[in-house]
Amino acid sequence: MARPTLRARWLVRLILLAMTACSTLDAGGVARALSDKTLMKGSRGEDVYELQDRLKYLGMYRGAVDGIFGWDTYWSVGSFQSGHALPVTGQVDDATRRALLQATRGFEPRHHSSTHVAGGVGRFSANDIKLMANAVYGEARGEPYIGQVAVAAVILNRLDDPRFPKSVPGIIFQPGAFTAVSDGQIGLSPNPQARKAVMDAVRGWDPTGGAVYYFNPATATSKWIWSRPQIKRIGKHIFCR
């Protein structure tokens, strides 16, 4: 492409300036400005990317621009609010959004490719959750959704039980513990449903009522597993402790 002449460059600058002015006048009209959703700690997605970008533009945010409204973002929204005489709520409501758009007039929103962001939850990292989703998919992909949550819950129940290894990978890769590991099905990439099931289990849902074992009565070879006190049957699996 030919180098733009001096005049052409001036023209571009003029147009840009005009566009910025427009966006200041009517912030809601610009295609990629923050939507009118109230953002709070725990929000995820496109608006959070832009919020983080804008706070970074102001030098008020030092964390990663990852689309996850976490503690970093929360504190910097708070300090933005106290700096602009707004009530410090840590939430991006209408007043805060207007003040932020006003303060970041010169900012050009960037495009972020991924809108579905999956970070860690609580004490579990994103990779722990991915690994559990692999295990759930390998072990129970033909099962009803509730049965998949149940398999994830068994992994978590083992984590809190002193008789089992003390980490998610330790439990999943304990020799002989899961058939999906023994036959390599753990390597299959999980579907979104398996991941959803893991998230539900991580957030406290336990359809098994505290089980640490499950087995398929049609294929179980170990006699010992039948001696465990049973809790309930979900789909093809019997859950016991």
Partner 1 sequence: MYRRVAAVLTPVLAVALVITGFWGYREHRQKQAVLLKAENQYQRAFHDLTTHVDQLQDELGKAMAINSVRQQTPCMTNIWRLAFAAQSDVGQLPLTLMPFHKTQEFLNNIGQFSYRLGVKDPQKPLSSQDWTTLKTLYGQAARVENDLRQVQSGILSHNLRWMDAEMAMSDNQKKDDNQIIDGFHKLEKQVTEFPEVSFGPTHRTLESRIQEQPAQNLGSDAPPDRVAAKVKQFLGLAGKETVKVQENGKGNPNPTYSVTVEDGRASHVFLDVTKQGGHVLWYMNDRPVGGEKIDLSAAEAGARNWLRAHGYPVMEMIQADQTDSVGVFEFVPVERGIRLYPDKVTVKVALDNGEVIGLSAKDYVYHHRPRNLPVPSLSMAQARQRLSPHVTVQEHHLALIPNDEKQEVLAYEFLGTIDRDTYRIYINARNGDEEGVEKMRREPPGTAQSW
> Taking contact as CB under 8 A, which single stretch among the options 4-12, 17-25, 103-111, 207-215 is the one that binds partner 1?
207-215
The yes or no reply on residue 72 touching partner 1 (CB under 8 A) is yes
DSSP 116: -
Largest CA distance in the chain: 86
Closest-CA residue to 56 (of 44, 68, 64) = 64
Positions 143 through 162 that interact with partner 1 (CB under 8 A): 144-146, 149, 156-157, 160-162
Order the strands of the 237-240 sheet from edge to edge: 213-215, 237-240, 230-234
> Taking contact as CB under 8 A, which single stretch among the options 4-12, 13-21, 51-59, 231-239 is the one that binds partner 1?
231-239
- Number of C-beta neighbours around residue 189 at 10 A: 9
Toward partner 1, which CB reaches closer, 24 or 115? 115
User: Whole-number minimum distance, CB 202 to partner 1, in Å?
Assistant: 10
> Taking contact as CB under 8 A, which single stretch among the options 7-15, 24-32, 134-142, 229-237 is the one that binds partner 1?
229-237
How many Å apart are CA 158 and CA 136, to the nearest integer?
A: 14
User: Whole-number minimum distance, CB 237 to partner 1, in Å?
Assistant: 13
The yes or no reply on residue 185 touching partner 1 (CB under 8 A) is no
The yes or no reply on residue 207 touching partner 1 (CB under 8 A) is yes
Name the residue type at position 123.
R
User: Whole-number minimum distance, CB 194 to partner 1, in Å?
Assistant: 11
DSSP 27: G
* Interface residue with partner 1, options 23, 33, 34, 39 (CB under 8 A): 39
Give the DSSP per-residue string, 158-214.
HHTSTTS-SSHHHHHTSTTS-HHHHTTGGGSPPPHHHHHHHHHHHTT--TTSS-SEE
User: Whole-number minimum distance, CB 200 to partner 1, in Å?
Assistant: 7
> Taking contact as CB under 8 A, which single stretch among the options 11-19, 97-105, 135-143, 169-177 is the one that binds partner 1?
169-177
Positions 90 through 129 that interact with partner 1 (CB under 8 A): 91, 93, 114, 116-123, 125-127, 129
CA angle 51, 52, 58 (to 5 degrees): 95
